Amino acid sequence: MIDPGHGGKDPGNLGKRSKEKDIALKISLKFGDYIEKNFPDVKVMYTRKDDRYVDLYERPVMANKAKADLFICIHCNSEPGVSAYGTETFVMGLSKDQRNFDVAKRENAVILMDENQERYEGFDPTSDESYILFSIGQSFHKENSLKFAQKIEDQFKKKVGRYSRGVKQAGFGVLWSTAMPSVLVETGFLSNANEETYMMSDHGQDAIASGLFRAFKEYKTEIESVN
């Protein structure tokens, strides 16, 4: 299950010339196309294939109902006023690092757009205490999530030529209830003019998608060889 972040009334992070929701969708569709062309036996599914709003609760539910083997969220980062750049891939977990925590809170804020707040069992994306709820969420699939996340960052660094900020852990709502290995990929910073230009370009989107595909191919081969 490929999950292009945000969509519809939720634009996500904003660059000077772009919206996260648009870039995430384009990269996601390219990534899925690579898989379909090279592994026709693999069923590729999406939480959205156009510019529509899908609430944060529904995204992992879709993956669980489909019995997906992997859940891959595609996003773009932003730190206005800071010249941050590079990629980072997150797995579900509690982090003591304030910056990782801030990224998760920013992504989880979309919960406040959902009309049915009761589904989140009292979780408040602005409350530090609420993140304790996430402490046991993805523990069962954490090893494979970390394995896949590292392959993604290795591809970005060694093959795509991006600066890798590494694999990190944080309490992302979209990863909390998934019943399979899950990652959230921050493909670059829209707040950085050079990265925004790169991620808006067809070349940049294709390079990112191809890196994701190669990581998927490596992960698939490794997991199937064990099983």
**Residues in Cβ contact with 214 at an 8 Å cutoff, skipping those fewer than 6 apart:** 155, 159
**What residue ranges do the domains of the chain occupy?**
2-226
Q: What is the fold of 2-226?
A: Aminopeptidase (3.40.630)
How many angstroms separate the most distant Cα atoms in the chain?
47
Strand partners, 170: 92
Per-residue model confidence as pLDDT tens digits over 77-105: 999 887 899 999 999 876 554 555 565 56
Per-residue model confidence as pLDDT tens digits over 199-211: 999 999 999 999 9
